[in-house]
Structure 1
Amino acid sequence: MTKKTKRLDYWRDPDAPKPTSRKASASVFVRDDAGRLLLLRRTDNDLWTIPTGGVKKAETVAQAGVRECREETGLDVEVTGLVGVFSTPDHVIVYMHGDKVDEVRQPINICLRARVIGGTVRPGPGEAREVRWVDPDDLQDYPIHPAIKLRIERGLTATEPYIG
């Protein structure tokens, strides 16, 4: 399978292209014992995010979150709960190869809480430029898409899962 070479995210943009697909994805909200949040810098749009990726056939959402975290950050995690389900039509993602639009997706993301159980922090080849633990007080210093900021905000502050 060929990796997408470019990703453009739209948020609450009336001029965003119309979606051609909807796909489930899983993300993991991981904090260390010091309360820092696991972030990675994407290779396709250069923004910071929590580990996130599509749910493949024959895997559960939890399995997808664990797999994506391992692929993108080198860390093995165990799912411990649910941050929420994020399905707003305000978020549209355009995937491109060169100048050709491959897909315009309206994502459905299930964000899971997880804890590290093994592995070594390292950027996944083709997945992440950098991986680091970030103090929540320093998040304003990182370019993060509003859809991801919403997941992070809910992960940091909410006790009940978000459904929206």
Structure 2
Amino acid sequence: MTTIDRAVLTRQVYFHDPLAPPASLVAPSVFVAVRWHHGTLLLVRRCDSGTWELPGGRVDVGETAVEAAVRETAEETGVRIEVTGLAGLFTDPGHVVRAVDGEVRQQFALLFRARALGGLPHGDQHETSEAAWVPEAEIAGLPMSPPVRLWVAQALAIGEPPLLT
């Protein structure tokens, strides 16, 4: 019997990495910064990588970016939100994501600010293993990809105009 060694495909984030595969498409996505009491921020832990990020995902055909932000946040965290503003637009061609299915896309992300309307944070156990209100002082110690750190910093920059990159 012959055993074939197969690499397990996982989602891979490349940020200004010369070894990044070329993107085949640009996919619009949304991420949401929801602040809560005492300076906490709603974050999710990804099932595939274990890294923390803001809730969000791709915009589906037939929905607006704001509708996608509300839907993705509810799906990934169990928290219902209302979008209150735009924190940034991130279109860096050096930020490439290879999905589990092998699709390689250039990230095109809208970062919204929102307020919580209700619900208790919990992971969906499909994309997110955890969702939590994280104190701002603890965010630096969490494993995050470099672009997510940039988004979180912009999300926490209250009173600043939206960042357009």
Distance of 2:69 and 2:47 partners within structure 1: 19
Asked if 1:49 is matched to 2:53, the reply is yes
Sequence identity of aligned pairs in percent?
38
Q: 1:104 maps to what in 2?
A: 104
Q: Which runs of 5+ in 2 are unaligned?
A: 1-8
Instruction: State the partner residue of 1:149.
Output: 149
In the alignment, the residues of structure 1 paired with residue 88 and residue 98 of structure 2 have an alpha-carbon distance, to the nearest angstrom, of 23
1:33 CA displacement: 2.1
Is 2:19 the partner of 1:18?
no
Q: Normalization by structure 2: what TM-score?
A: 0.91
Q: Which residue of 2 aligns with 1:86?
A: 90
| Distance in 2 (alpha carbons) for counterparts of 1:37 and 1:17 | 32
Q: Give the SS at the match of 2:36.
A: coil
C-alpha contact 1:71 1:127 (8 A) present in aligned 2: no
The alignment's C-alpha RMSD in Å is 1.2
1:27–1:52 contact (8 Å) kept in structure 2: yes
- Flag structure 1 segments of 5+ consecutive residues without an equivalent: none
Partner Cα separation in structure 1 for residue 19 and residue 56 of structure 2 = 25
CA deviations 1:60-89 (Å, max 9, x no partner) are 000000000000000000000111100001
1:125 is displaced (CA, Å) by 2.9
Structure 1 residue runs of 4 or more that deviate by more than 4 Å after TM superposition? none
Q: Residue in 2 aligned with 1:160?
A: 161
Alignment match, 2:130: 130
TM-score normalised by length of structure 1: 0.91
Is the counterpart of residue 95 in structure 1 residue 99 in structure 2?
Answer: yes
- Alpha-carbon distance in 2 for matches of 1:90, 1:137: 29
Choose between structure 1 and 2: higher strand proportion: 1
Structure number, greater radius of gyration: 2
Using the alignment, how far apart are the partners of 1:155 and 1:162 within structure 2? 10
Give the paired residue count. Answer: 156
